[in-house]
Amino acid sequence: MLAACKKDGKDSDGTPSITGKSKQQVFMMQKWFLTNFRDSSLASDVDYIETCAQDDTYEFKSTTLYTQDRMGTVCSGGEPATENYPWSMASADAGSVTIFSKSYTIESMSGDKIVLTREFPATGGYGKQTVIFSRKR
């Protein structure tokens, strides 16, 4: 019988393992890149990540604070290289997270990716925002 092997907290394919971790711990286990921020409420599916922000990392340093590190590329002149922002979860394994001043449903999590969504009223019905944090850019 063969079993998946874990070495140094990674699954057999090299992905960081989330086995035994709470959802909150998955956010906090490594730095993440924001690889998708889409809004389907507009006529076209719009990605809101500016080119200058595509190299930014997001590190969830505590259960209430994350740091955005602009990694040397800033979008406007007076922008600091790093900035702290609030985030929260009702409990360590809650099904939703508050980040970017909005509440998102946690759709899926792995050692490679976190997928968040939220629905909101929009012209002609409801819009949907999808936010994806990935381990690699």
pTM of the model: 0.86
Cα–Cα nearest to 47, from 33, 34, 31, 32: 34
Range 5-18 average pLDDT = 71
Q: What is the pLDDT of residues 65-122, one digit of tens each?
A: 999 999 877 888 788 889 999 999 999 999 999 999 999 999 999 999 999 999 988 7
CA–CA separation, 121 vs 73, rounded Å? Answer: 34
Domains and CATH numbers, the chain: 23-134 (2.40.128)
User: Are 60 and 45 a contacting pair, CB within 8 Å?
Assistant: no
Written as one string, the DSSP assignment of 80-130 is: -SEEEEE-B-SSTT-SEEEETTEEEEEEEE-SSEEEEEEEEEETTEEEEEE
pLDDT of residue 4: 47
> What pLDDT does 42 receive?
62
| pLDDT bracket for residue 3 (50, 70, 90) | very low
Mean of all residue pLDDT scores within the chain:
87
